[in-house]
Amino acid sequence: MPSSPNIGPAQPNTAVAVATLDQAAGRARIASVPAAHAQAELTGTGLTVVLVGVLLAMVDFFIVNVALPTIDADLHASRSLLELVVSGYATAYALLLVLGGRLGDSIGRKRLFMCGIAAFTLTSLACGLAPTALVLVICRIAQGASAAMMVPQVLATIQAATTGERRAQALGRFGATGGIAAVLGQLLGGLLVSANIDGLGWRPIFLVNVPIGIAGLVLASRYVPDTRHGNPAPVDVPGTVLLGLTVLAVLIPLTEGQSLGWPAWTIALLAVSPLLAAGCAVVELRSERAGRTPLVPPSLLQHASMRRGLVLALPFFAGFGAFMFCYALLAQQGLHDSALTAGAALVPMGGAFLVASLSTSRLLARFGTKVLAAGGLLQAVGLVIVGVTVYLGWPDLSVAALIPGLVVAGFGQGLVMSPLFGVVLSDVPPASAGAGSGVLTTTQQTALALGVATLGSMFLSMAGDGVGIRTGFITELSVQVVIAFGVAAGARRLPGWRPRASSWRMAPTESASKAS
C-alpha cells in the first residue's frame, strides 16, 4: 500500500498532491533516504508470514461449519448459541477491521500484526478448551477481534513495502489466500473432526492454530518490515462508535433473526441501520472537512478504483460466502456425505482457484481488468454446470459429479478475487493505506456474513426435505450466476480496463510510492 512510512509520507487527505509529485522531487527524496526505503522492503519470506495470518483468520471463518453438529452433541448448545459460534466471530471481525487498520497506521503495522497473531493464538487455545457453549461463543468473539488486528496490517504492509510488479503479485496472492482458505477450512475441518484425535472431537479445529500461531509470531519478528504512518492521527471515537453500531444493526438481525423467529427488535435494528449509516457518513464528512482524520475518510470514495471496486466486491463476496455455506449443507444433509467427503470434493476447485490466482499478475499486465470480466463469465458457466448436474442427477448424485463445474467456477473465481484487491487499492494514496485496507477487508467480511444470512437463509427456508434442498440450492446458484454476470459487466468500469500494461502498473499509488 503506501511507500515506506518511515521516510515521511504525505499528510492525511493529500491524495491529489501525492499522486502529482514531479519526478525531480521524487528523485531528490529517494536519494536522501535510501536506507529507510530499503528497510521497508517486504521479502518473499515476509510475505508468506503475513499471508499465514490471513489464512488463519479466513480458515477459522469456514472451518466451524462442518463441526457444528459435533459441538452440539458435546456441549448441548442451543441453536441460537451454535449460530453465535459462527456469527460472533464474523461480527467482531467485521466490526473492528477498520479500527485495526487505523491503529496499525498509528502504532506500527508490524507491532499490531504480532499482537494480533499472539492474541489469535491464545484465543484459539481458549476456544479449544472451552467447557461450555457460552464460553465458546465468548472466546470466538475475542478470536474475531484478534483477527481484525492482524488482517488490515497485511494489505497495508504490502502497499507500503512493495512496488511495481512485486506489489501486483503480492496482492494477487493475498486474494488467492482468501479463496484457498475457504476450501481448506471445509477440508481441514472435516478431516480433524472425522479423525477425532485422542477423543477430542471438534476441539482440534481450534487447537491446530496454536503451533502455527507461535511459528508465525517468531518469523514475523524477523522477516516482517516495520511500517507505519509518519504522522499518525488520533482514533476517531465518534466515527468508530457509529460504524460499529451500523455493522451490528445489520449483521445481528440477519444472522440471528431467522433462528429467533424475527422478533420485533430484529426488525427495528434493520430499520434503524440506514439511519446509523447516514449518521456515520455525516460525522465522517464533517470531520474530514474540519481538517481531522476520520476513521473512514469519505475522500476514499473519490478514487474510482475504490468506489467502483467496492460495488463489485460486495455482491461477489456475498455470493462466495453463500455458496460455501449452501454447498456444505447440500453435501451433508441432502446427499448424506460426510464432512470429509464434502470437503475433499472442493480440493480440485481450490486447485483451479490457485492456478488462476498465480496467473493473474501476468494476465493483468497484458489484458488489464478484462481478466476480471473473463473470470466472472467463467464463474457463471461453472455454476450453471453445477446447477444442471444437481438438477439432472438428484437424488442419486455423488459430490464427485459436481467436480467439473466446481473446477470451472473455481478458476473463474480466482481470476476475479485475486486481482480485485489490487484493483480496488490501485488509486488509494499511501497516506490512506490503513483506512483503505480496513474498508476493503470490512466489505469482504461483511459481505461473506451477509451472503450466508440472506442467500443462506433463503436456502434453509426452501430445504424442508430432499426435493426442497435441491430447489433451494439451484435457486441460490441462479442468484449467484446473476451476480457473476454483473461482475463481468461491472469490470468494464474499473481502472485499467483497456489492455495497456502502463494503465495497470502505474496507478496513482505507485506513482506516489516512487515519489516518496
Question: What is the per-residue pLDDT across 179-189, written as a single tens digit (0 to 9) for each?
Answer: 778 778 878 88
Better pLDDT: 515 or 92 = 92
- Report if residue 259 sits inside a domain: no
Q: What angle do CA 170, 37, 44 make, to 5 degrees?
A: 30
Close Cβ partners of 349 (under 8 Å, ≥ 6 residues apart): 183, 403, 406, 407, 409, 410
What is the domain count for the chain? Answer: 1
**DSSP characters over 265-309:** HHHHHHHHHHHHHHHHHHHHHHHHHTT---SS-GGGGGSHHHHHH
Distance CA 27, CA 504 (A): 22
- Report if residue 365 sits inside a domain: yes
pLDDT at 37: 38
- Report if residue 244 sits inside a domain: no
Positive/negative CA dihedral, 478, 176, 191, 77 = negative
SS3 assignment for 166-211: HHHHHHHHHHHHHHHHHHHHHHHHHHHHHHCHHHCCCCHHHHCHHH
pLDDT exceeds cutoff 80 at 506? no
**Could you tell me if 352 and 410 are in contact, meaning their C-beta atoms sit under 8 angstroms apart?**
yes
Mean pLDDT of 293-314: 83
- Report if residue 149 sits inside a domain: yes
Chain-wide mean pLDDT for the chain? Answer: 79
The torsion defined by the Cα of 101, 315, 169 and 97, in degrees rounded to 10, comes to 10
Domain of residue 135 covers 5-235+295-515
Mean pLDDT of 88-110: 83
**Could you tell me if 212 and 92 are in contact, meaning their C-beta atoms sit under 8 angstroms apart?**
no
Better pLDDT: 130 or 259 = 130
Mean pLDDT of 71-82: 79
The fraction of the chain above a pLDDT of 90, given in percent, is 24
Mean pLDDT of 370-399: 91
pLDDT at 466: 52
**Tell me, what CATH number does 344's domain have?**
1.20.1250.20
- Report if residue 256 sits inside a domain: no
Cis peptide before 395 (omega within 30 of 0): yes
Better pLDDT: 371 or 236 = 371
pLDDT band of residue 232 (cuts 50, 70, 90) is low
pLDDT digits (tens, 9 = 90+) for 436-472: 777 887 788 788 878 877 887 788 778 765 558 888 8
pLDDT band of residue 80 (cuts 50, 70, 90) is low
Residue reference for cell 440472506: 454
- Report if residue 148 sits inside a domain: yes
Encoded amino acid at 396, one letter: D
pLDDT at 127: 95
- Report if residue 334 sits inside a domain: yes
Better pLDDT: 40 or 282 = 282
Instruction: Among 207-221, 232-246, 280-294, 417-431, name the most confident range.
Output: 207-221
pLDDT digits (tens, 9 = 90+) for 347-375: 888 888 888 888 887 888 788 888 899 99
- Report if residue 505 sits inside a domain: yes
pLDDT exceeds cutoff 80 at 281? yes
pLDDT at 500: 43
The fraction of the chain above a pLDDT of 70, given in percent, is 84
pLDDT exceeds cutoff 80 at 24? no
Q: What are phi and psi of 232, to 5 degrees?
A: -60, 145
